Amino acid sequence: MTAPTAGPVEANAVVDFVVDGDTIDVIVDGREERVRLTGIDTPELARRDTGATAECFGEEATAFTTSLLPIGTPVRLERDVEGRDDYGRLLAYVYRADDGIFVNYEIVRQGYALPLTIPPNVTFSELMVDAARAAEADDAGLWSACAG
């Protein structure tokens, strides 16, 4: 498992689409995979199929993830213990290949997501909690926009 430090990393996928703040589509070995970013939970977008309304900061979280991972961005995906969720999505920690930015962490640290720990995938649980505490202390993102 790569430590969350900046510096180029070897890519093993390319971003094809940002679905929402914590879900992306990537191309891996010539095929598309839906990836759920492990250890984080962003507010949900509105859904036409279910009639669900958007949660506070859902649009902003998606825009932030899109700014970090535009289509065509080479990334490194790393799995924890459990590789897929109940929906068949690949569960991964995502790093931008060109600079090694740990995307999952950055989304939480900037206030666009909360930590979400689902055992056995707990490698970076404490790091995500620390990132959320720092974002809250800074009144960043959803911590100021969605208060109360």
Backbone φ and ψ of 62, nearest 5°: -65, -45
Instruction: Assess whether 89 carries a catalytic annotation.
Output: yes
Given the residues 33, 76, 89, 106, the one annotated as active site: 89
Given the residues 33, 36, 60, 109, the one annotated as active site: 36
Dihedral angle, C-alpha 13, 18, 24, 27, nearest 10 ° = -30
Helices in the chain by DSSP H: which ranges? 58-68, 103-109, 125-137, 142-145
* Amino acid (1-letter code) at residue 69: L
CB 55 within 8 A of CB 44: yes
CB 112 within 8 A of CB 65: yes
Given the residues 44, 76, 96, 109, the one annotated as active site: 44
Catalytic residues: 36, 44, 89
